[in-house]
Amino acid sequence: MSAAAGAGVLLQVESVSVRFGALMALSGVSVDVRAGEILAIIGPNGAGKTTLLNVISGFYHPSQGRIFFEGRDRTRLRPPDVAELGIARTFQNVALFKGMSVLDNIMTGRLLKMKGSFLLDALYLGPAMSQELANRAFVERIIDFLEIQAIRKAPAGRLPYGLQKRVELARALAAEPKLLLLDEPMAGMNVEEKEDMCRFILDVNGEFGTTIVLIEHDMGVVMDISDRVVVLDYGRKIADGTPDDVRTHPAVLDAYLGVTHD
């Protein structure tokens, strides 16, 4: 069991390295994610941010190091098994089923919650019927929460990009995650859409108690909504602290601005 277990740490990334051929995408990165916080991961392009999210969610396995979730080693688990533990994510590029309705897209996020027998499901009897009603009720709650009632029957692929991002967030929330990973949730959005997304992220954290790790390039957003910020550069962690601490950190200024400090 991880030493961090019981100390309010939900996820522990311990000395993780990821290598693709000659490229070291992550090098000895350690990050603790505390239960209930919003943690932002920032860094220049190519810093290893998405690779870190892919390791956490099981899409990549580290070359070295270990990952603990709720004190249990889950380093080698596959993405479906990681999802079963209570980790959900959105993607840098929207990954919706474009021909399906918004409602049906969000319902796919409930698949891990749908347990039952094939025969009962096929006949739609007994437990299968009550389970379907309960799952639909939860999805309708998410739709109301994210204020997308008006588009619930619209094909996802016909929506503006900002709304597609919101639907993808809804699908992730439908899985009732303990840990939500957001890969550039504000990318491609205008100012108004970013303000809405910031509000929803804060509400998800506050009302559902969901722990959130997000990658974001908009520093204004990062500084406004994050409890803590981790900075990566060339696959290494160079800073970890509060937004105020990180914004004045010499190594961070050097990575972003290319200046050195005495």
Q: Over pLDDT 90: what percentage of the chain? A: 71
Instruction: Find out whether 124 and 132 touch, Cβ atoms under 8 Å.
Output: yes
pLDDT tens digits, one per residue of 215-237: 998 989 999 999 999 999 999 99
Q: Is the pTM of this model over 0.85?
A: yes
Q: Over pLDDT 70: what percentage of the chain? A: 88
What does the pLDDT average to over 246-261? 75
Token duo for residue 185: 């949730």
- Predicted pLDDT of residue 258: 58
Tell me: pLDDT of 261 over 50: no
Give the domain ranges of the chain.
1-86+177-262, 97-174
User: Which residue in this structure is represented by tokens 């619209």?
Assistant: 154
pLDDT tens digits, one per residue of 122-169: 445 455 567 777 888 899 999 999 999 999 999 999 999 889 999 999
Closest CA to 9 of 32, 30, 31: 32
The secondary structure of 169-211 as a DSSP string is HHHHHHT--SEEEEESTTTT--HHHHHHHHHHHHHIIIII--E
pLDDT tens digits, one per residue of 16-51: 999 999 999 999 999 999 999 999 999 988 899 999
- Predicted pLDDT of residue 49: 96
Q: Average pLDDT over the chain, rounded to whole?
A: 88
Closest CA to 31 of 71, 68, 64: 68
Helix, strand, coil percentages for the chain (3-state, nearest 5): 40, 25, 35
pLDDT tens digits, one per residue of 58-109: 999 999 999 999 999 999 999 999 999 999 999 877 778 888 999 999 999 8
- Predicted pLDDT of residue 129: 65
Q: According to CATH, what is the number of the domain 1-86+177-262? A: 3.40.50.300
- Predicted pLDDT of residue 114: 64
